[in-house]
Amino acid sequence: MGTSRLVVALGVALFLCSCLDFTGQVMTYRYDRAGDTLLIFQVYEGLHTTGVDEDPPRDLPTAEEKQQLDAVVKGQRTFFFGNWLTDHDAARNAAGIEERRAKLADAGPEEQVRLKTWMGLLERINASVLVRNGGFYLNAKGQLCGTQYVVVTGVTPLVSAINACAGLKAREFGDKGQLGERALRRLRAFTEKGEWVRIDGNQVRIRFACTPEEFRRHRKSLNDEQKLLDLVTQDMVLNYDEPIAEVILGCLDQEVTTLARPSVRKASGALTAHVKETYGLAPMPDLEALRAAFLRSGTVPGAK
């Protein structure tokens, strides 16, 4: 689904094993070049169990779903439009580091380099990304919603680590024999430059290698789900020049960039009741004020 090669390259996974989900999201970000820090304010709308799509519908959360929600509330995890762009899970990254560390002793020289490169990226991500949850509330439609504050420090070295791993994935992709000679030459030339991810001002460019058929499937899946339609009319562009696909977020001269997908799902009563009993529900906050204050100062409300 979506930019699957990018998702694999950055070591991400599906949202909560498809047991809990959200249908709306507003992501607003600002890159502070002087501090080399990316500030992201997240609003999730229409939180629900995927059981509401079952026949008959199941709104009551299972024990597993309650555990998954608790892991998100207590852990370091944030999402960027489900699994389409990416997500961050510090616990999964830590497990990935140890999994690769265990393989080092039996690995050959080239494999050791690959393992250490990926370990370096995962370590860098966990050291750079801080996630703070802002609590749950009901919006004007009665939908269960939540906010998050995300601070990414040391963006430049983090992008360098991402590009190193993306280059490894591109070389592996080129060795599969799926590309013609012209496309293969272009892939190799692009890999030498190493700019799979680039940030200029508030514009983020994300590139990944795929075949024309894979790109058509990616685009069709987005159109089918209306995600591309929702996003491309704002500050997102999707390009393809074989074999490089490119996602462009934001603009060079923007101070703040917002990507939004409104929620159309009905309120989830049973999940809302569980959240209210377990974590509490706050009154609907002044989202504009919270967003503006955080993106201006980088200070998370209530953080010590």
What is the value of pTM for the model shown? 0.85
For 245-298, how does the pLDDT look when each residue is reduced to its tens digit (9 = 90+)? 998 988 888 999 998 887 777 777 888 999 999 999 999 999 999 999 999 999
Residue 51 forms part of a structural domain: yes
Q: Which domain holds residue 278?
A: 4-296
Q: Count Cβ atoms within 10 A of the Cβ of residue 241 and give its class: 0-12 exposed, 13-18 middle, 19 or more buried.
A: exposed
Split into its structural domains, the chain has a count of 1
CA distances from 189 to 88, 170, 193, 244 (A): 30, 11, 7, 11
Strand spans (E) along 52-143: 77-80, 86-89, 129-138
C-beta neighbour count of 242 within 10 angstroms: 16
Indicate whether 304 belongs to any domain. no
Residue 281 is predicted with a pLDDT of 96
- The verdict on residue 96 lying in a domain is yes
Question: Is residue 224 situated within a structural domain?
Answer: yes
Q: What confidence tens digit (pLDDT) does each residue in 58-92 have?
A: 778 888 888 888 888 888 888 776 555 567 889 99
Would 283 be classed as within a structural domain? yes
